[in-house]
């Protein structure tokens, strides 16, 4: 049974004492990084911010098996931040897409989550990348079909390791509405008093 198939999804129940030590360690490291950033001269703030976004873009893409051009990501991030950066030659839609999305995410970090916001990020991410995909991808909207995450071994044997919720756009939207409502409540200023955890790092990210 997947988490979204649980009876009370997404109203989870958990014992905070079981991860207090991990959260404490995370908080120490987060504040340590924040302290280090505060010591950087103002003249170097932009360079540090660009570097952080580039590393985030590369590591996030690597999880999906994507290997991006580091210099093009850096150049794109700088341009989207309004910094002076000459346009580079070549065709780098994936690098430009993730750079545009991450910059927009940082600019809207304090905004409430919404379908409009998610779809905007999706459109930015995939802009110009249509030729990379065998099957057409709908940009800026929820999918209208079921989707499975499949793992295949060297012998060609496959296994479904995750089935995403919803078999059509209506079902997906219903599940996403529940998730968005939970997400917007799961923060220090929201209506639900959740303990501070690595789940939500808006407060730290907004200071970067």
Residue 78's SS3 state is helix
Task: Give backbone dihedrals phi and psi of 57, rounded to 5 degrees, phi first.
Answer: -60, -45
Please give the full DSSP string across 107-162, using - where no structure is assigned.
HTTTSPP-HHHHHHHHHHHHTT-GGG-SS---TTS--SS--EEEEE-TTS-EEEEE
DSSP letter, residue 3? G
Query: Which pLDDT does position 204 carry in this prediction?
Result: 37
pLDDT for res 112: 92
pLDDT in tens, the chain (208 residues): 888 888 888 887 778 888 889 888 988 988 888 888 788 887 788 888 899 999 999 999 998 888 999 999 999 999 999 998 877 778 899 999 999 999 999 999 889 999 999 999 999 999 877 666 666 778 899 999 998 988 888 888 999 999 999 999 999 999 999 889 988 887 655 555 555 555 554 443 443 3
The size of the chain, in residues, is 208
Contact 88, 114 (CB under 8 A): no
- C-alpha 172/C-alpha 165 separation (Å) is 6
Which residue stretches of the chain are H helix?
A: 20-38, 45-63, 70-80, 93-107, 115-126, 169-185, 202-205
Q: What is the pLDDT of residue 12?
A: 76
Q: What is the pLDDT of residue 75?
A: 94
pLDDT at 100: 96
The reported pLDDT for the residue numbered 198 is 58
Token code pair at residue 75: 């150049």
Closest CA to 204 of 60, 59, 30: 30
Residues whose CB falls within 8 Å of the CB of residue 56, separated by 6 or more in sequence, listed in order = 102
Tokens of 195: 């303990």
Tokens of 108: 């809207």
């Amino acid at each position: 049974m997947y988490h979204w198939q649980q009876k009370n999804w997404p109203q989870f129940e958990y014992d905070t004492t079981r991860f207090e030590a991990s959260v404490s360690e995370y908080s120490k490291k987060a504040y340590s990084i924040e302290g280090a950033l505060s010591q950087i001269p103002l003249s170097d703030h932009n360079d540090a911010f660009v570097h952080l976004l580039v590393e985030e873009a590369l590591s996030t893409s690597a999880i999906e098996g994507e290997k991006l051009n580091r210099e093009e990501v850096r150049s794109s991030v700088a341009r989207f931040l309004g910094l002076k950066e000459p346009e580079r030659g070549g065709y780098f839609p994936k690098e430009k897409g993730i750079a545009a999305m991450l910059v927009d995410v940082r600019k809207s970090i304090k905004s409430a989550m919404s379908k409009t916001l998610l779809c905007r990020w999706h459109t930015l991410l995939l802009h110009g990348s249509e030729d990379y995909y065998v099957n057409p991808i709908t940009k800026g909207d929820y999918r209208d079909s079921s989707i499975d995450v499949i793992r295949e071994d060297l012998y060609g044997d496959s296994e479904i390791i995750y089935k995403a919720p919803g078999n059509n756009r209506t079902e997906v939207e219903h599940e996403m509405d529940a998730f968005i409502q939970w997400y917007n409540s799961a923060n220090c200023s929201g209506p639900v008093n959740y303990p501070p955890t690595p789940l939500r790092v808006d407060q730290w990210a907004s200071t970067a």
